Structures are given as structure tokens and as C-alpha cells.
Structure 1
Amino acid sequence: MALALLDVTPLRSSRKFRGLWLGRAFSGFGSQMTIVVVMFQVWQLTGSTVWTGAVGLAQALPVIGFGLFAGSVVDRADRRRVYLAAQTGQAICALILAVQGFLGHFPVYGVLLLIAAESCFVTVGGPASRTFIPRLLPESQLPAELALNHISFQAAMLIGPAVGGLVLAWLGVGGCYLIDAITFGLAFLGAFGLPPMPPDRDAARPGLGGVLDGLRFLISHRVVRAALLTDLAATVLAMPISLFPQVNAEKFGNDPRTLGLFLSAIAVGGVLASVFSGTFTRRSRLGLVMLVASATWGAALALFGVVPGAWLGLCCLVIAGAADTISVVARGTIVQAGTPDHLRGRVSAAEQIVGQAGPDIGNLRAGLVARLTSGPVALLSGGLTCLAAVALVGATTRELRN
């Protein structure tokens, strides 16, 4: 039974990793709180869903537009210094947001510019932090590290928004942003004790040349390419979030209580998979694990579109959430283990772009299909298409299966 539970060996064996993980867990919690606060403030300022939708756009555009260039910068500099600078930049943005929150009367476009500026620092800091682990832990502990990171993310996603709402009612917008700034400071302290991490002797070429080198590696390395394509298949073809309100209205009487449970069910599945992650992080054929988990994600969401009762639907979403966590951990291990150190910044940046842009595109695709048909049809067709795409990737990439 002990072997089936979350493997905490990385936390026990490495003090430096333990500090980094705790700092990132706190900053992730603060970021989930801020999601609620930003949406609330923008809605209070405008009363417009167009402006609240623009919040996601402000966060996504820097990652998509500058991600690969940021990865090239990470591969040419001391990665620890890059990460510390990024955390400092995020903390400063959060402090400015706190000041405007306390003062009030700040224009909405100013809030969005600050959110976009903070996202620019995320674009640099995210790939930098992903390059630390292979230098801090042995390769055999990479799956356990990714499972630990994922459970902290899932816990923040479960608790952060709820706490954010309570703090918002207690301290107001400025107080929430101030707490977010403090969590970035904790992430800074967690990484401050890391050793210097200078670039590999094969450092990235400056400018566009370094970006093109990263793209050539992604195209030529069959296993890493297949891992990222599998993730794109799961998110672009079967992302269900934008369909939840329509499915709830069409199948479950538009009950707001049911709608609220949909996202929670996915998070519950993710937490359960993380708690029992020892069942798959200790396996050797993680490529096959990733393929099966991605196919399970698609199948569970297809079933969610056709099952008759709310409880059966919630069970499907719990299974989907668990499958997503297993796939994310397996994919991250494959990408980190298959990428040379001097390219890890650029490949991590590409992984971040896929992880952020894929769900956004998938939600847009699902919404368009549902507008032409219905929510259940969009879920069923998306899940089955995801299954077919994952099967195609697995059939054409023997190295990934093995």
C-alpha cells in the first residue's frame, strides 16, 4: 500500500528542492487567489464579460508571443538569477496592483496592463524553474517531483479561489493583491538557497538563431515531439470547460449547484491521482502510461456527454481529472529526461506554451462545435477525436510506447 501513495522522497532527500517546492506552492496558492480578485475587480469596473474575458487574453498573449525567446534567454544565463529576477518582477507587479486596489479609481486597461506585465515575468520564470530539477534530483526521482508539483497545484486550485473570496470580503481587493505579493516573496526565498546554475557549455545562440535551434530539436526528437502532440490532442480536441454551462442547462436543469461541482470534480480526480501517484511514478514505461491516461481523458469526457444522471457525469469528470494528472506527470518526466540540459529552457518554454494555449484553443473549439450542434455532441465528438489522435501518435511512435 505504501508504494501506491505519493512518493515524497524528493522532499526528504533534498533540502534545496524542499525549499523551492514550498516557495512555489505558496506562490501558486496566491496566484489562484488572484484569479478571483482580478475577475471581481474587472467586473466591478466594467460590468462587461468582454473585459473579464480579456483577463485571460492578457495572461496568455505574453506566453504565446514571447515564450520561445524567453526560453532562449533562460538557456543563455544563470537560470537561478533569471528565476529570482522573474519572482521579483511578479512581486512588484502584485504590489502595484495592491496599491491601486487600496487607492481605487484605477482604469481597467491599467489593471490588464499590470496583469500582462506579470505574465511576461511568468513567461521567463516558468521555463527557468523547470530546468532546476534535473540538477537537484536524480533522474529516478523526476516522476515523483512532478507528482509533488501537481498535487500542490491541484490543492491551490481547490482552496485558493475559495480563500480568495473570503479574503476579498474581509480585506478588499488591495489586501488580496498584497497577500499575492508576499507569496512571491516566499517563492524568492525558496529559490535563494539554490546553487548557481550557469548555462551549459553549449549555450543557446542569441536571438532568433537560438529559438530556431530549439524548434529543430522539437521537430527532430520523436519522443519529445510525440509527448507534446499527445498533450495538444487532449487539450485542443477534448477540453470541456467552456461547455459546462451549456451541458448543465441542457441536461441538469441549469442548477448552479451542479455547475459548481463540475470543476471541483476534475480537481478531486487530480488530487486523488496525485495522492496515489506511486502506482505510476515508479513504473518504467511512462510513455505507455501517458498514452493510456490521455486516451482515458478523452473517453471519460465522451462518456460525460452521454451519461443520463448528474452523479454519473461527476464520476466521469473525476476519472478525467485523474487521467489528466497522470498524463501531465508522465509527459513532464519524458520531456525533462529526453531534453539535453542546454536546450531545457527552450523546450520548457514550448511545453508552457502548449499547456497554456492548448486549453484556450480547445475551449474555443468546443464552444464553436456546441453552437452548431449541442454541448453533449461537442463533448462526445471531442472525446472520440482525442482517442483517435492519441492512438495515431502511439501507433506511429514506437519509441514512446517503449
Structure 2
Amino acid sequence: MTWKPSALLPDLSPWRSSRDFRLLWVQGLIAYFGSFTAMVALPLQIKELTGSPFAVGAMGAVELVPLVVFGLYGGALADAVDRRRMILATEAGLALLAAVLLLNALLPRPMLWPLYVVAAGVSAMAGLQRPALDALIARIVPHDQLLAAAALNALRWQLGAVAGPALAGLVVAYAGHGPAYATTVCCFAVSVALCLRLSPAPPAGGAGRPSLRGIAEGARYAWSRPVLLGTYAIDLAAMLLAYPPTLFPFLADELDAKWSLGLMYAAGSVGSVVLTLTSGWTSRVRRHGLMVVFGAAGWGLAVAGAGWFDDVWAVLLCLAVAGAGDMLSGLGRSTIWNQTIPDGLRGRLAGIEVLSYSVGPQLGQVRSGAMAGWTGTRGAVWGGGLACVAAVGLLAAALPRLVAYDATTDPDARRRRAAGAP
């Protein structure tokens, strides 16, 4: 068999086979573009109104609790209602919140408190929406194309993450906050129009009303499945022990390269994009548990290198490799979830994933800042990276079923595959 360079390109099978996937992909790209535009404009406006770093940082505090609470509830809701309606309602809610930002920015003297209210509201809407979005993918994409769908969705996010902030910075600098928020409103209006064209996605038969008992049922299911438990645990360990962005300003100073700060923040995304654009080979992988383990271990090892090397270009290269490792692990996690979780529990498990996804980086920032006070900046970076590698190794040893996971033989994956493709 002759190897072709095209084998590295992303697998476009989900795009060709599913109309709803195409709609969601385009809708998501436009929504991400608008979201990232507001994510840059909002803290800049708080900074201009207050001049206080604490006031800007407080935005993260008001966002965390709604994300956790509504993420768990949104997971239960996604299993009990039509997921299309849930996505449409939350997208419309995000459009209204963007309109509040726009109206406030057009006032002669914009007020501060609405910015925090909107930040909390956006976090709540995101917590409600993400489980429904995640749960819908496995219903609209054939079982054997789920990893390719995860790669394409990751590429969509990366495009929005790069283009949105870049445009927002230019718009705010030259036109002010009003036009930036107007861009966000327009993006969400288009997104809502695309969501209206999605096919209905009613709940699975026998679905009950959202309740604490339902959330607990999802938690018990996750706890009873070592493969799923391993994906959550490894992701949490990697973010808790080796999440370094908080230390980038101090690392740039120690390397006598203040000019490199922006590149440090961007390097991980560059590595993720490169991995995604060359992800065609992952469609032939069946041992997705190994993808999770190797990706997370690679993330930790590369972060350790970023704290160890003295040369700033070596540091940037390590951060790019770390981003690629994180993306590899993320593709493995997403594929395992979509291949094994029953449709009736998918929303609740996605809600638990939102909890893991949000808490890990937040606690990781606290960990890195506290450790830097004891060991210095570079010690906190490389020490956290090595701790991540050790934790991933221990978790892999403690959860052998995750390492042994094979999409063709795993009982849960076979049951899900036998349940029928869209």
C-alpha cells in the first residue's frame, strides 16, 4: 500500500454524510467568532471603567459558579428535552445578552454592574448549552466517524479562537466597544437562524424530568465505568498539575524576553491547530485510551520542558508541543465518550465533563501561583509538568481498562454501535 500525504489531512466524512453536522459546524464557527470577540471586549471595557486588575479578575469568579451549576443541570435537561430546542433557546439567550452589552456600551456613561451580570448569564447559558451540543453529535454522526467529527469540531473552535480575538482587538482599538458588541449580536443572530434549520432531536424513550436523582444516576454510571472515569481523572490531573498560563508573564520576565508573552499564550493553539490539520491518521486508531494517556503525558512532559529550558524559542516550541498533546488527549476523550455513553445518559455525562473541564484549569491556576511562591516561576512550571507525567502514569496503572480500550471490542462501544447509526 502506498502512503499518501493526503492521509494526514482531516477526515471530512462527517461533513459529507450529515447535513445537521454541517449546519452545526458552520453555526458553531460563527458563534465562536462572536463569543471570542465579546470575550476580548468585555474585560477591556471593565479595565477602562475601573483601572483595577482585581475588577477584571473578578469576572472569572462570577463565571465559575453558574458554569458548574448550570452545566450539571444542563446535562440532565439535555436528556429530558429536545436538544435542538435547547440549543436554539440558549443561543437566543446569548444573543439577548450580547444586545445588553451593546446597549450599555452606547450609553453616554456605560455602567459596570451589567458587565458582571452578563458575564454570569453567558456562563450559565454556556453551561446549559454545551451538554446538549456534545450529546447531539453522536446522534447525527455515524459511529465510525465520531473521532473525525471531534477533530473537525476542534478545528472550528481553533479558527474562532484565533480570528475572534484578533478582530476584536482591532475593532475595539479603532472603533470602540459598541461595534465589537454589535459584531457579536450579528454573529448570534446568524447562528440562531442556522439552528432553526436543525432536525428535531427529541429525548430518548423513557427519559424522565431533570432532577437531582437523574444527575446522581449519571454520576453513578460514570463511576461504574473505569474507562470513562479514567478520561475524567486524567484530564483533571493534567489541568490541575500542569496548567501554566498564569505564570507566562513571570516566565517571560525571567527569560528576559517580554516580547514573547503573546507568543507564549498563542503557542499552545498553534500546536493544537497543527495536530488537527494533520489528524487524518487518527481515524484509523482504535485504541483511544492510549491516545488519552499519551496525549496527557506528552502535555506534561512538554510543559516541564517549557520550565526547564533557558532559550525562549525552545520554550515556545515546548508550549506548542504541549498544545498538540492536549489536543490528542482531547480527541481520544471525546471519541470514547461518544462511542460508549448511551444516548439517554449522554447529556448528564456531558454535564459532568463541563464540571471537569471548568474546575481543572481554575484550580490549576491557583496551584501554579501558590507553587511559584515556594519554588520560583520556572520550578513551578517544570515541577508541575513532571507531576502531571507521574499522575498520568499512576492513573494509567490504576485503570488498565482505559489503556486497553479498543473501539472494536469494548462492550459499551459495541452496544452503542449496535443501537444504530443516524
For residues 250-305 of structure 1, give each alpha carbon's deviation from its aligned partner in whole angstroms, at most 9, with x where no partner exists. Answer: 2x21x331111101111110100000011223211111011001000000001111
For residues 198-236 of structure 1, give each alpha carbon's deviation from its aligned partner in whole angstroms, at most 9, with x where no partner exists. Answer: 111131453211111111112111111110111001111
Equivalent residue pairs, number: 400
Give, in whole Å, the separation in 1 of the partners of 2:289 and 2:239. Answer: 18
Q: Match for 1:351: what amino acid?
A: E
Aligned residues: CA RMSD: 1.3
Matched, 1:130 2:134: yes
The SS at the match of 1:305 is helix
| Contact kept in structure 1, 2:172 and 2:179, CA below 8 Å | yes
| Contact kept in structure 2, 1:6 and 1:276, CA below 8 Å | yes
Matched, 1:330 2:328: no
Give, in whole Å, the separation in 2 of the partners of 1:171 and 1:308. Answer: 40
The SS at the match of 2:198 is coil
| Contact kept in structure 2, 1:30 and 1:180, CA below 8 Å | yes
| Contact kept in structure 1, 2:302 and 2:321, CA below 8 Å | yes
Matches within 5 A, 1:261-272: 261-272=263-274
Q: Match for 1:127: what amino acid?
A: P
Indicate which of 54, 57, 63 corresponds to 2:61: 57
Matches within 5 A, 1:2-401: 2-250=6-254, 252-253=255-256, 255-401=257-403
| Contact kept in structure 2, 1:280 and 1:326, CA below 8 Å | no
Q: Match for 2:28: what amino acid?
A: R
For residues 11-59 of structure 1, give each alpha carbon's deviation from its aligned partner in whole angstroms, at most 9, with x where no partner exists. Answer: 1222221111001011111111111101110001111011100122222
Moved more, 364-373 or 174-183: 174-183
For residues 162-193 of structure 1, give each alpha carbon's deviation from its aligned partner in whole angstroms, at most 9, with x where no partner exists. Answer: 11011113332121112112212222223222
Give, in whole Å, the separation in 1 of the partners of 2:253 and 2:55. Answer: 24
Q: Match for 2:215: what amino acid?
A: V
| Contact kept in structure 2, 1:20 and 1:187, CA below 8 Å | no
Give, in whole Å, the separation in 2 of the partners of 1:227 and 1:160. Answer: 30
Give, in whole Å, the separation in 2 of the partners of 1:189 and 1:282. Answer: 36
Report percent identity of matched pairs.
36
Q: Match for 1:174: what amino acid?
A: G
Give, in whole Å, the separation in 2 of the partners of 1:361 and 1:51. Answer: 20
The SS at the match of 1:107 is coil
Compute the displacement of 1:133 (Å): 1.0
Give, in whole Å, the separation in 2 of the partners of 1:3 and 1:311. Answer: 30
Give, in whole Å, the separation in 2 of the partners of 1:383 and 1:104. Answer: 48
For residues 135-164 of structure 1, give each alpha carbon's deviation from its aligned partner in whole angstroms, at most 9, with x where no partner exists. Answer: 111111111111111112112222221110
Give, in whole Å, the separation in 2 of the partners of 1:188 and 1:155. Answer: 20
Give, in whole Å, the separation in 2 of the partners of 1:362 and 1:232. Answer: 9
Q: Point out 4+ residue stretches in structure 1 off by more than 6 angstroms.
A: none
**Structure 1: gaps (5+ residues):** none
Q: Match for 2:326: what amino acid?
A: D
Give, in whole Å, the separation in 1 of the partners of 2:305 and 2:397. Answer: 24
Q: Match for 2:298: what amino acid?
A: T
Compute the displacement of 1:3 (Å): 1.5
Q: Match for 1:212: what amino acid?
A: A
Give, in whole Å, the separation in 1 of the partners of 2:137 and 2:197. Answer: 14
Compute the displacement of 1:109 (Å): 2.0
Q: Match for 2:66: what amino acid?
A: P
| Contact kept in structure 2, 1:270 and 1:325, CA below 8 Å | yes
Q: Match for 2:171: what amino acid?
A: V
**Structure 2: gaps (5+ residues):** 405-422
| Contact kept in structure 1, 2:74 and 2:132, CA below 8 Å | no
Give, in whole Å, the separation in 1 of the partners of 2:83 and 2:242. Answer: 35
Question: What is the TM-score with the length of structure 2 in the denominator?
Answer: 0.92
Give, in whole Å, the separation in 2 of the partners of 1:353 and 1:186. Answer: 29
Give, in whole Å, the separation in 1 of the partners of 2:187 and 2:258. Answer: 32
The SS at the match of 1:219 is helix
The SS at the match of 1:203 is coil
Compute the displacement of 1:309 (Å): 0.4
Give, in whole Å, the separation in 2 of the partners of 1:19 and 1:53. Answer: 35
